[in-house]
Amino acid sequence: MTTGYTEQTAAAISTTRSYTVGDLLRRTALRSPDKTAIINGDTALTFAEFDAAVNRCANALTARGLQKGDRLALVSHNCWQFAVLNFATARLGAILVPINFGLGVDEIAFILDHSGASVVVAEDTLVSTVGAAVDASSRTDVVRGTIPLAGAGADGWEDVATWIEHDDASAPDVLVGDDDPLRMMFTSGTESRPKGVLLSSKSLVSQYVSCIIDGGMTADDVEVHSLPLYHCAQLDCFLSVDVYLGATSIILPSPEPAALLAAVEKHRATKLFCPPTVWISLLRHPDFETRDLSSLRKGYYGASAMPVEVLREMGRRLPQVQLWNFYGQTEMSPLATILQPHEQFDRAGSAGRAALNVETIVVDDEDNPVPTGEVGEIVHRSPHACLGYYNDEEKTAAAFRNGWFHSGDLGVIDAEGYLSVVDRKKDMIKTGGENVASREVEEAVYLLDGVAEVAVFGVPHPKWIEAVTAVIVPKEGVTLTREQVDAHVESTLAGYKRPKYVIFADALPKNPSGKILKKDLRTEYERVAD
């Protein structure tokens, strides 16, 4: 329908109705100007101060040539400046490209080239790597900014502090649409090259609402953010939601257990997100018994299912904490389904049911819904869904075929709508003509007393095609044997599901988000059958 409005009137209506990520902080600052928004080391900002810093930074970036639709790449550990840049780019309608700070020169150079970044920001300790990546890319004419976390400057790099201290604190006059891209998140890479996932305000804000309603989040929360902000789990399920609500955020550079436990005690934190691997590291740390964690009320996990034995241990040692399981992926901004606190034991291992703004079903290879209880690919319909993959029509069309976003995960939905994630398609072990879900084997091994962590995967085998392999990290001071593992799984798993190879290790390889890197384990042990 044509409204018949002039372009000027239509623009005025759009501005009035604006509901973008860039609007959220301003509205919170108007409601709660003097409330503490962010604490990061010795820096504390009220919402009014945070809002002003975002405007100043946005105006400085405009002066440096950044415009709506341009890309700003950011490579940094967690810091308050990361949060400022996130909202400053959103206010300009520029696209933030957070980059994993653990990547190498060639990997960063690929992302800079693929995204077409015109501004690159790096923390000072990463300037050497990021600078080399810029030089190796075609983006050599970029504006370079550095965040002086270690107090060091760099020749040819502008100090981001000067942007945040820009003399113009007025709100930028840029009309940003609900579905204009604001973020390009690069997938962590099960393929040779990561894909640039485009997210808009519509994707993100609808996801924030689902997190708030189904995740029991409120303005009274005090949350510690320690997992990497370059990943949308910490940035968009938690930090940005806290800003939206007016909750207080404590930012840590990393999930180092001693510092994380100390921060919970010092700031009387009420809320904490960690993947299972990090929750396990907290439970195993000696400071867990000496720190006052009584303020914690809400705990969240994701990235993988929480082993049942760890759930029981958390129930004993943190009895006041309610737990939520968040399941999803970057392309869903990232939340798709939630398992609620009262369902943790009755539905242990489940990813829960579709979140408020999500529809989830399971389909076969022809995209037909499968019967209840049968395994298929998990697909979603939701405003959470991304806009597609940047400059990749083929992969976007495949992911969104038939009007559903295809997750690449295999799952089962029961009669009451609860989803169980069987495995990633790539993680399903095909051994001797049978399919084995690595998670099922991991859950069985976790029941053995003395197991701290376990990862199960398939390795090439001349007879079985793939052999089930388990790498086990024993609890501190515990010695486990292959015979103990064999005897234990014999009573819990069918013969073809039992590990043919058992390896004991001091630790499992993980990325900065706490995900176990099974691809590294497959590479390390690919010749174990020789």
| In the chain, where the domains are located | 26-34+49-176, 203-387+405-425, 429-524
Quote the CA–CA distance of 203 and 252 in Å, as a whole number: 26
Looking at residue 212, its pLDDT comes to 98
- Segments in 137-191 forming alpha helices (H): 160-164
| Reported pTM | 0.84
Burial code of 11-24, b = ≥16 C-beta within 10 A, e = fewer? eeeeeeeeebbbbb
Q: What is the pLDDT along the chain (530 residues), one digit of tens a residue?
A: 667 899 899 889 988 999 999 999 999 999 999 999 999 999 999 999 999 999 999 999 999 999 999 999 999 999 999 999 999 999 999 999 999 998 889 889 999 999 999 999 999 999 999 999 999 999 989 999 999 998 877 889 999 999 999 999 999 999 999 999 999 999 865 444 789 999 999 999 999 999 999 999 999 999 999 999 999 999 999 999 999 999 999 999 999 999 999 999 999 999 999 988 899 899 999 999 999 999 999 999 987 778 888 899 999 999 999 999 999 999 999 999 999 999 999 998 899 999 999 999 999 999 999 999 999 999 999 999 999 999 999 999 999 999 999 998 889 999 999 999 886 666 678 787 677 878 788 888 998 999 999 999 999 887 777 899 999 999 999 999 999 999 999 877 878 889 999 999 999 998 776 778 888 898 899 888 87
Fold of 203-387+405-425: Rossmann fold (3.40.50)
Give the phi and the psi of residue 269 in degrees, each rounded to 5: -65, 145
Torsional sign, CA 168, 170, 174, 178: positive
CB atoms within 10 A of CB 115: 20
Which residue, 175, 185, 172, is CA-closest to 57? 172
DSSP 8-state assignment for residue 494: -
CB neighbour list of residue 4: distance below 8 Å, 6 or more residues apart: none
Looking at residue 187, its pLDDT comes to 83
Q: Tell me if domain 26-34+49-176 and domain 203-387+405-425 are identical in fold.
A: yes
Question: What is the architecture of the domain spanning 26-34+49-176?
Answer: 3-Layer(aba) Sandwich (3.40)
CB neighbour list of residue 259: distance below 8 Å, 6 or more residues apart: 226, 252
Looking at residue 143, its pLDDT comes to 97
The two tokens of residue 404 are 């559903």
Provide the CA 329 distance to its chain's centre, in angstroms: 8
- Segments in 371-490 forming alpha helices (H): 393-399, 438-446, 482-490
SS3 328: strand
Looking at residue 374, its pLDDT comes to 93
Which residue, 79, 29, 78, is CA-closest to 49? 29
Fold of 429-524: GMP Synthetase; Chain A, domain 3 (3.30.300)
SS3 453: strand
CB neighbour list of residue 51: distance below 8 Å, 6 or more residues apart: 25, 26, 28, 29
